[in-house]
């Protein structure tokens, strides 16, 4: 039973990461109806933010404060992912509400851009983006003070984009031709990077012949905190009330004076920030790279769909079930338990065949498809007016 218990614990820790990511996706997909295929890349940005914070603490504080870097990396990962999500909502998503196919394609394109950005980002690219933002938003702010701004807005915006982009590209080319290796070298490149866990998260709590890793215990506790915080925000805060009101009836909420556009932006930023926290948790389980988010995005969507769209309690059950089943089957724990029983050899061979991570996912997806044939709306389907929309 020890391998099974160890597999259950490790599966719960993986399910906890899925749950943090699914919380953000449940907020965006369940409450806003937006299919965000860039959600995995927001997790990836949270993971790289943790890596940057780790290196910053190592460079400026040495070993004295290194063990507390994770406490600073968590809010930074939330903020970075939330800011990127806010820009994504303001720049792309807000123009595509009610058009799910266009939203899906747009966010898929954003996911490709973010992955390539992480592979290629260097000082030249950062300076070019800064120059573009300074020129474009600065000129927009100045011109918006004109009385005839609404009349000249469309053609002026197009001209500002063209000029700002041209100046930014020229600036980047000139910087690249200086030949200085420091400003043209990629920060991360396509390779995976490793994040060293603090000393107090290394090792484990011994139980019998195996240990419960402190890092996985920390992830479970972090998940509980995120879950309670999300529940409190949505059900006890004034902005949470506004979010639920807009979800139930957007037109009536607007008539009552609720700023629906601000609510949309805040909701998307909250879901994106939770994805960044999930990315920070991923760094405690292994190395991270530009494609890290793609390893979790499908499982995260499955959690939301199986649990019931917009239902947090259903997401908890689905995340823990999917994470635990995937790990137990993929680690071969079931096959190892059944091996001593001779007459169950066909069953043992069956689970041995699926005793890899990729094949375990295939089996779990097959089980999910079978389950959705019986309950297509998930464990806890939506009821009332929300289900009719």
| DSSP one-letter string for 42-107 | HHHHHHHHHHHHHHHHHHHTTTSSGGGHHHHHHHHHHHHHHHHHHHHHHHTGGG-TT-HHHHHHHH
The residue with greater pLDDT, 341 or 298, is 298
Q: Specify whether the CB–CB gap between 69 and 54 falls below 8 A.
A: yes
- pLDDT band for position 388 (cuts 50, 70, 90): very low
Report how far residue 30's alpha carbon sits from residue 381's, in angstroms, rounded to the nearest whole number. 11
- Is pLDDT larger for residue 260 or for residue 44? 44
How much is the average pLDDT of 204-231? Answer: 82
Cβ atoms < 10 Å from Cβ of 53: 22
pLDDT of residue 103: 85
Q: How many CB atoms lie within 10 A of CB 353?
A: 11
**pLDDT (0 to 100) of residue 81:** 92
Among residues 227, 387, 224, the alpha carbon closest in space to that of 310 is found at 387
* pLDDT at position 171: 84
**Whole-number pLDDT of residue 4:** 67
Looking at residue 258, its pLDDT comes to: 86
pLDDT for res 48: 92
Residue ranges of domains in the chain: 1-121+186-374, 122-185
Contacts of 158 (CB under 8 A, 6+ apart): none
H/E element, 213: strand 210-213
d(CA 351, CA 349): 6
CA distances from 360 to 136, 330, 350 (A): 49, 5, 11
In angstroms, the CA 250 to CA 261 distance is 10
Query: Which residues are within 8 A (CB) of 358 and not within 5 positions of it... i.e. 6 or more apart?
Result: none
Angstrom distance (rounded) from CA 220 to CA 12 = 8
The pair of three-digit structure tokens given for residue 112, joined into one six-digit string:
């490709």
Provide the pLDDT confidence category of residue 1 given band limits of 50, 70 and 90.
low
User: Which pLDDT tens digit goes with each residue over 301-327?
Assistant: 888 888 876 677 788 888 888 888 887
DSSP label of 26: I
Binned at pLDDT 50, 70 and 90, residue 389 comes out as very low
pLDDT over threshold 90, residue 119: no
Integer Cα distance of 90 and 163 in angstroms: 22
Helix 294-307 to helix 357-374 angle, to the nearest 10 degrees?
20
Q: How far apart are the first and last CA of the chain?
A: 47
pLDDT per position as a tens digit, 74-99: 999 999 999 999 988 888 888 887 78
Taking alpha carbons only, the member of 32, 10, 9, 30 closest to residue 313 is 30
Residue 163, exposed/middle/buried by CB under 10 A (0-12, 13-18, 19+)? Answer: middle
More confident position, 83 or 28: 83
The average pLDDT across 262-284 equals: 88
Considering the chain, what percentage of its residues have pLDDT values greater than 70? Answer: 90
Q: pLDDT confidence of 383, banded at 50, 70, 90?
A: low
pLDDT of 384 over the 60 cut = no
pLDDT of the residue at 78 = 93
| DSSP code at position 210 | E
Give the model's pLDDT for residue 30. Answer: 65
Find where tokens 């990962």 sit: 77
| Residues 134-154 pLDDT 10s | 888 888 888 777 666 777 777
- Rounded Cα distance, 185 and 318, in Å: 43
Average pLDDT, the chain: 81
């Amino acid at each position: 039973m020890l391998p099974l218990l160890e597999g259950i614990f490790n599966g719960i820790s993986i399910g906890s990461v899925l749950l943090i990511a699914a919380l953000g996706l449940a907020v965006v997909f369940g409450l806003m109806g937006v299919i965000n295929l860039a959600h995995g890349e927001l997790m990836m940005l949270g993971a790289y933010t943790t890596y940057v914070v780790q290196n910053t603490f190592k460079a400026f504080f040495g070993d004295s404060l290194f063990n507390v870097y994770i406490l600073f990396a968590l809010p930074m990962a939330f903020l970075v992912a939330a800011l990127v999500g806010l820009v994504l909502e303001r720049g792309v998503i807000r123009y595509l509400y009610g058009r799910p196919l266009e939203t899906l394609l747009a966010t898929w394109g954003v996911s490709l851009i973010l992955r390539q950005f992480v592979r290629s980002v260097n000082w030249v690219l950062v300076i070019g983006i800064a120059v573009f933002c300074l020129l474009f938003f600065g000129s927009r702010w100045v011109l918006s003070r004109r009385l005839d701004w609404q009349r000249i807005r469309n053609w002026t915006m197009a001209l500002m984009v063209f000029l700002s982009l041209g100046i930014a590209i020229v600036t980047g080319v000139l910087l690249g031709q200086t030949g200085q290796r420091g400003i043209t070298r990629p920060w991360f490149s396509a390779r995976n990077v490793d994040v060293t866990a603090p000393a107090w998260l290394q090792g484990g709590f011994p139980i019998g012949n195996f240990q419960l890793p402190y890092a996985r215990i920390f992830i479970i506790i972090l998940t509980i905190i995120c879950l309670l915080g999300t529940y409190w925000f949505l059900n006890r805060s004034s902005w949470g009330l506004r979010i639920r009101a807009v979800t139930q009836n957007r037109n009536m909420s607007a008539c009552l004076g609720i700023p629906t556009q601000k609510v949309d932006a805040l909701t998307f930023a909250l879901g994106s920030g939770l994805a960044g926290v999930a990315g920070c948790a991923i760094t405690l389980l292994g190395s991270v790279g530009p494609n890290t988010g793609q390893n979790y995005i499908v499982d995260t969507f499955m959690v939301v769909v199986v649990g019931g769209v917009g239902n947090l309690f259903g997401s908890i059950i689905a995340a823990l079930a999917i994470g635990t089943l995937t790990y137990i089957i993929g680690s071969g724990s079931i096959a190892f338990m059944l091996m001593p029983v001779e007459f169950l050899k066909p069953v043992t061979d069956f689970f041995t065949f699926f005793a890899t991570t990729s094949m375990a996912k295939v089996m779990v997806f097959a089980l999910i498809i079978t389950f959705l044939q019986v309950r297509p709306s998930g464990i806890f389907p939506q009821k009332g007016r929300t289900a009719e929309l």
